[in-house]
Structure 1
């Protein structure tokens, strides 16, 4: 019998044996912790969506004000007339 077979046999023996009873308070605590984790995950997702929408709005306002698609004016302007 190889090491892998011995480990498999040990696991099968443990799983086939009697299972210990779980105290009722453990189930209640686990359920409460699960509800808490779900609430926290929903809150984080909500805040993330609000931040994403806020970032899009801020970018839109910035783009409307600055118009980054237009070329910047050059630093020097050509003369309006010949200075003859």
Structure 2
């Protein structure tokens, strides 16, 4: 297909009337969009809630367990100059 035929075909497509849209299509699309937005908002709120719960649980765990403190020694250190008998 040469250039002039392609241009003619493109012109014919652009000049043709647009297809008829079913009457309920807009209402269906609007309803689906609203539903999708509600689901997205609910998922976002759930994710933020879970993140908040994890942060609070980690803070409570860190304050009760205190992992930064060195555990007490299980044995006594050797005393210099003491023979033991």
Q: TM-score range by the shorter chain?
A: 0.7 to 0.9
Q: Which has the higher helix share?
A: 1
Q: 1:60 to 1:13 in 2, by over 3 A?
A: farther
Question: What are the within-5 Å matches in structure 2 for residues 63-82 of structure 1?
Answer: 63-78=62-77, 82=82
Cα RMSD of the aligned pairs, angstroms, is: 2.7
Q: Which residue of 2 aligns with 1:48?
A: 47
Larger CA Rg, structure 1 vs 2: 2
Any unmatched runs of 5+ in structure 1?
none
Deviations 1:38-73 (CA, angstroms, capped at 9, x unpaired): 000000001011101000000000000111111233
Q: How many residues align?
A: 81
Any unmatched runs of 5+ in structure 2?
none
